Amino acid sequence: MTSRATKLRSVLLAAALAVTATVSGVNPAAAAEQLNASQIVADMGAGWNLGNQLEANANGVPGETAWGLPAVTQALIDKVKAAGFKTVRIPVSYLNYIGAGPGYQINAAWLNRIQQVVDYAYKRGLYVLINMHGDGYKSINGAWLICDAGDQATIKAKYQKVWQQVATRFAGYDQHLVMEAMNEEFDGQYGTPTQPCYSNINAYNQIFVDTVRKTGGNNTARWLLVAGWNTNIDYTTGNYGFVVPSDQFRSPSIPAAEKRIMISVHYYSPWDFAGEENGTITQWGRGATNPAKKSTWGQEDYLDAQLKLVRDTFVSKGYPAVVGEYGSIDKSAFDSSNNRYRADFARAVVSTAKKYGAATVYWDNGNNGQYGFGLFDRRSSAVTHQGVIDAIMGGLASR
């Protein structure tokens, strides 16, 4: 191809992206923005999850207030941004808001609301991650993205149609929008990955990448986030069956040596500190003062080794990693010093992730008080745990 032809192709591509962006109501000037792996991780900064909202449901019907939280507001997102967060992950469930096949039409009002909440963050210049969250949980009524279910052909057709609709809706958004294939997808058993379940997870990831790319617009160059078995680091980095999807339909404008696929992992180790709902283990890290309150595993050395695995397996090969969820629940009712260790844990995760080239997104489930992950009051938008927020920002600045 001649240089003149290459230039013409670039002009036509830019014009097409601009038209798409204009139709979607976003800034056409931002449409050409493309960041490489290290740039986007740095630019995403500290992340925060809008948990228990757009993935909430009542009897399989999605609804952002179904789990007792108020409707999401612009004021809340503005407070999150003011606190220093640059990325908002928005978990989304579709469930019974997906119509019958073969079209599998998403409820229009629900898709409109998803876009509205995305815009609360996107139009403030924040990065936004959207996924398919509760559709793969066997414990949820209406779940259907089940990797060990029988009729995989129907599941895959449905999955493709849903992502086609979502990707088309957001095709004009620039690289501040990242799409995430699924969330904690596995067979529901906390053990070694099984087949053919893992092969189906790989197939879902491939369908996701191909489908989003084929919708055109900025989706041809967008960063896409995929995950292995239950977003577990060992089962994603080790020899258990995870396959990074190919990206054959991406834009030719992306340099051949660069990737546009990210790897998602979650980090809640040790679980007896981070998530177990009792007062047995309330302290973490080298600063712990009571050995009886500290787990026998999962301290700084373990955290470092886990994120080094992610770096060695993916980041070193050009695939940036996102710790899409991390955090620890409030056990201060049992130990008045607990919030100090929650802050230490958050600081360490963020700092270590930065060391190994990964972005981090704190899990906030909107619940404050005993066993809550909340950093903000969803009703007043007030900060509830400034110490943990300070630790997150400090961890990001520490290396």
Residue 3: pLDDT over 50 = no
> Which residues are within 8 A (CB) of 273 and not within 5 positions of it... i.e. 6 or more apart?
281, 282, 283, 284, 294, 295, 298, 328, 341, 345
C-beta separation of 260 from 220 below 8 A: no
Does residue 146 contact residue 138 with C-beta atoms inside 8 Å? yes
CA neighbours closer than 13 Å in the CB half-sphere of residue 127: 30
Q: Are residues 184 and 227 in the same domain?
A: yes
Give the model confidence (pLDDT) of 205-247 as tens digits. 999 999 999 999 999 999 999 999 999 999 999 999 999 999 9
39 shares its domain with 10 = no
Phi, psi of 342 (to 5 degrees): -60, -40
Return the pLDDT at 41. Answer: 96
Distance CA 27, CA 20 (A): 10
Q: From the candidates 55, 64, 180, 325, which is the catalytic residue? A: 325
399 pLDDT band (50/70/90 cuts)?
Answer: low
What does the pLDDT look like over 62-82, one tens digit per residue?
999 999 999 999 999 999 999
145 and 252 together in one domain? yes
Across residues 78-95, what is the average pLDDT?
A: 98
Residues 21 and 113 in one domain: no
C-alpha 245/C-alpha 86 separation (Å) is 27
Per annotation, catalytic residue among 55, 64, 184, 185: 184
Query: Between the CA of residue 16 and those of 36, 171, 302, 309, what are the distances in Å?
Result: 22, 11, 48, 40
CATH number at residue 286: 3.20.20.80
**What mean pLDDT, rounded, does the chain reach?**
92
List all residues 6 or more positions away from 188 whose beta carbon is below 8 Å from its beta carbon. Answer: 137, 138, 139
Residues 73 and 26 in one domain: no
User: Quick one: 54 and 26 in the same domain?
Assistant: no
Residue-level pLDDT at 33: 61
Q: Provide the number of structural domains found in the chain.
A: 2
Residue 289 tokens read as 């003062």
Same domain, 102 and 155: yes
pLDDT in tens, 25-71: 444 334 446 899 999 999 999 999 999 999 999 999 999 999 999 99
Tens of pLDDT, residue by residue over 115-168, are 999 999 999 999 999 999 999 999 999 999 999 999 999 999 999 999 999 999
Active site residue 55: no
Same domain, 274 and 366: yes
pLDDT of residue 18 exceeding 70 = no
For 255-284, write each residue's pLDDT tens digit: 989 999 999 999 999 999 999 999 999 999
- Quick one: 27 and 164 in the same domain? no
Same domain (yes/no): 16, 161: no
Domain match, 47 and 17 both: no
Alpha helices in the chain (DSSP H): 3-24, 37-44, 74-82, 108-122, 152-169, 197-214, 233-237, 271-274, 300-313, 338-355, 386-397
Same domain, 247 and 124: yes
Please indicate whether residue 64 is annotated as part of the active site.
no
Q: Does residue 12 carry a pLDDT above 50?
A: no
Q: Is the pLDDT of residue 112 over 80?
A: yes
Question: Domain range for residue 383?
Answer: 35-397
